[in-house]
């Protein structure tokens, strides 16, 4: 950044790098302490002086370092210095506002992120962008008032792909790939690798007619990474024309044509882009079932995403951005991928063998 500042009628040389509080003071013709008090909204500074200082700060592009701000706040609160932490925001967009807790994956993200934030000397505060009583502008003001300059965005719901607030003045990292507008840094499961690994493991179990079932809206949301991984693996293992992907528009439609598709293409194992045992169990008992999102102690075979590592690495990336004071949309947004692992399960016992029922008999 190259900025020219003036002091009174005298011009000074152009400066490079972040603008300091002292430079703002010189530009406004006041003391550094007056700038500091103004930025703290201290009533001792006259309104006209505050306006002049804020105008100077805006003109020069001054931005306070959030980590230094938190440190100074803790020093001013001597009696509680050992417990004061800089805060990060955890932004959700579910309606109702606490529905995200119903998803094990999202709970794991949050638990890991909270733990890593504390390890790094931060706290993680939850905010909802879907609260009907909280307009986006008011939410931004609230975040700034609490000294929060870094936001971790939880996976958006449904087909939402747009960040629900203007995060120009914040450092932002998204969990998963759901936020696509604006472009932000994200940390997510390596879906391409996961689909390839699932296919390879199914092939090792003796399955040869391995199909893939996923909803089109889910595939678009994940930028077709699962689909791409499956198609590449299929081509590598079976050079002849492969099995067409079963892709209805939504996951609710998956059970409707599933068995017809299985019978038509003689599918002996299905890789699902979901973990819904009800929908998966619609397949014939002799068909192996594999999920790309399983948890520990599942009966279902498939890929266990490393959700705790994803949450922790997202916090590390967010703090790294804060330390460099990277705000808004980066010029080259990063997608940091974390690989999952294969987990055996009774839903895919091997070719020619009937699987165990996934649901208790009624």
| pLDDT for 86 | 85
Amino acid 6: pLDDT: 45
3-state secondary structure of 66: helix
Which pLDDT value is given to residue 21? 81
For residue 279, what pLDDT is reported? 87
Q: State percent of the chain over pLDDT 90.
A: 58
pTM over 0.85: no
Question: Mean pLDDT in the chain?
Answer: 86
Mean pLDDT of 4-13: 42
78 pLDDT band, cuts 50/70/90, is very low
At 226-275, the pLDDT tens digits run 999 999 999 998 767 789 999 999 999 999 999 999 999 999 999 999 88
How far apart CA 287 and CA 291 sit, in angstroms, is 13
Q: What is the pLDDT of residue 361?
A: 60
Mind listing the pLDDT tens digit for each residue in 307-327?
A: 999 999 999 999 999 988 899
In the chain, list all ranges with CATH 3.40.50.2300: 86-182+308-339, 191-305
DSSP 8-state secondary structure symbol assigned to residue 164: S
From 40-54, 187-201, 283-297, 318-332, the region with the lowest mean pLDDT: 40-54
CATH of domain 86-182+308-339: 3.40.50.2300
Which residues lie below 8 Å from residue 80, measured CB to CB, with a gap of 6+?
74
Which has the closest alpha carbon to 329: 151, 141, 140, 124?
151
Mean pLDDT of 274-281: 85
pLDDT at position 159 over 60: yes
Task: Look at residues 60, 43, 44, 67 and name the one whose alpha carbon lies nearest to residue 5.
Answer: 60
Question: Which class is 2-62 in CATH?
Answer: mainly alpha
Q: Which CATH class is domain 191-305?
A: alpha beta
Do the strands 269-272 and 171-175 form a parallel or antiparallel pair, or are they unpaired? unpaired
Stretch(es) of the chain classified as CATH 1.10.260.40 = 2-62
**Pick from 210, 213, 198, 212: which is nearest to 255 by CA?**
213
């Amino acid at each position: 950044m190259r900025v020219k500042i003036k002091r009174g009628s005298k011009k000074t040389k152009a400066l490079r790098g972040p603008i300091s509080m002292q430079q703002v003071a010189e530009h406004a013709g006041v003391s550094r302490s007056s700038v500091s008090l103004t930025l703290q909204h201290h009533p001792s500074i006259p309104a006209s002086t505050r306006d002049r200082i804020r105008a100077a700060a805006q003109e020069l592009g001054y931005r306070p370092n959030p980590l230094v701000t938190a440190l100074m706040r803790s020093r001013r609160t001597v009696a509680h210095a050992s417990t004061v932490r800089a805060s990060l925001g955890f932004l959700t967009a579910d309606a109702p506002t606490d529905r995200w807790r119903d998803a094990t994956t999202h709970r794991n993200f949050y638990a890991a992120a909270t733990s890593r934030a504390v390890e790094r000397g931060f706290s993680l505060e939850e905010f909802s962008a879907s609260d009907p009583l909280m307009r986006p502008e008011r939410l931004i003001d609230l975040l700034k008032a609490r000294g929060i300059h870094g936001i971790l965005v939880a996976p958006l719901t449904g087909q939402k792909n747009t960040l629900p607030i203007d995060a120009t003045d914040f450092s932002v990292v998204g969990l998963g790939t759901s936020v696509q507008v604006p472009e932000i840094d994200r940390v997510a499961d390596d879906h391409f690798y996961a689909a390839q690994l699932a296919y390879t493991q199914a092939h090792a179990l003796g399955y040869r007619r391995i199909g893939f079932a996923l909803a089109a809206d889910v595939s678009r949301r994940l930028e077709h990474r699962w689909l791409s991984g499956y198609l590449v693996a299929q081509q590598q293992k079976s050079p002849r024309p492969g099995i067409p992907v079963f892709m209805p528009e939504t996951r609710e439609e998956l059970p409707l044509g599933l068995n017809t598709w299985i019978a038509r293409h003689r599918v002996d194992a299905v890789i699902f882009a979901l973990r819904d045992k009800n929908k998966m169990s619609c397949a014939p008992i002799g068909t192996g079932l594999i999920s790309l999102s399983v948890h520990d102690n599942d009966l279902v075979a498939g890929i266990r995403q490393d959700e705790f590592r994803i949450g922790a690495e997202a916090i590390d990336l967010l703090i790294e951005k804060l330390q460099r004071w990277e705000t808004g949309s980066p010029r080259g947004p990063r997608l940091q991928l974390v690989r999952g692992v294969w987990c055996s399960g009774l839903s895919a016992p091997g070719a020619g063998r009937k699987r165990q029922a996934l649901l208790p008999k009624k």
